[in-house]
Amino acid sequence: MRNPHKQLALDIALREDATFANYVGAAKHQLDHPGQLVFVWGPPQTGRSHLLQACCQWVDDAIYLTGLDQLDAAILNRLDDRSLVCIDDVDQVLGQPAWEEGLFHLINGLKDRGKRLLLAASEPPRLLAVQLPDLRSRLLAALVVETDTLNDQQKLQVMQQRANSRGFDLKDDVGQFIMSRSARDMGSLVNVLALLEVESLRQQKKVTIPFVKQTLRL
């Protein structure tokens, strides 16, 4: 397995906890498919970035790109020699001619070389505002993988994994208490965990329900 600390091009580093082992849900099993073009979609905070970065962990010359709206489309011209290219939030730049042309040629270049491309967006290909007909046809032919909508038990499992990776235990009752008192999307829950970690270290206290009440001023 590649070193998760390794810096990729453009100084985008993979998250240590973005692994298949840490992904809760069924979507990861669909990525075992050998399809060269895979399109991962789902609402924010449902694991799109996690899945793409998990794929990159296993390929030495993989590259993960995000924040496309801050980049120049010319970056795509240098990627078709990679074994794996993962591009997150691709819907940020669809509708822009330079990006659509670049994506079309990247898909063809990687396909010709037998390489793999994973794209991610908040909607499936059929709903995206793609202007270039040839690009639309390529995207519609991709293997489409939808991310998972987690139930409360699965959210608790994710929270406990994150807490463990941060060096503290999160008991079931504490996790359930947090979910009952905060926004239930995973982004908000992870932010709460980060705050609890900081305060737990600062005060040298365990994360208990009274501690959560005090920290979150409940």
pTM: 0.75
Chosen domain end from 146, 165, 194 = 146
**pLDDT value at position 189?**
85
218 has pLDDT over 80 = no
Over residues 119-167, the pLDDT tens digits come to 999 999 999 999 999 999 999 999 999 998 888 888 888 888 888 877 8
Residues 20, 120 within the same domain: yes
32 has pLDDT over 80 = no
pLDDT confidence of 38, banded at 50, 70, 90? very high
pLDDT (average), residues 173-187: 86
Residues 198, 168 within the same domain: yes
CB count, 10 Å around CB of 132?
Answer: 17
Length of the chain: 218
Chosen domain end from 146, 176, 198 = 146
Helix ranges (DSSP H) in the chain: 27-30, 48-56, 97-112, 133-140, 152-165, 172-181, 186-203, 209-216
Residues 111, 180 within the same domain: no
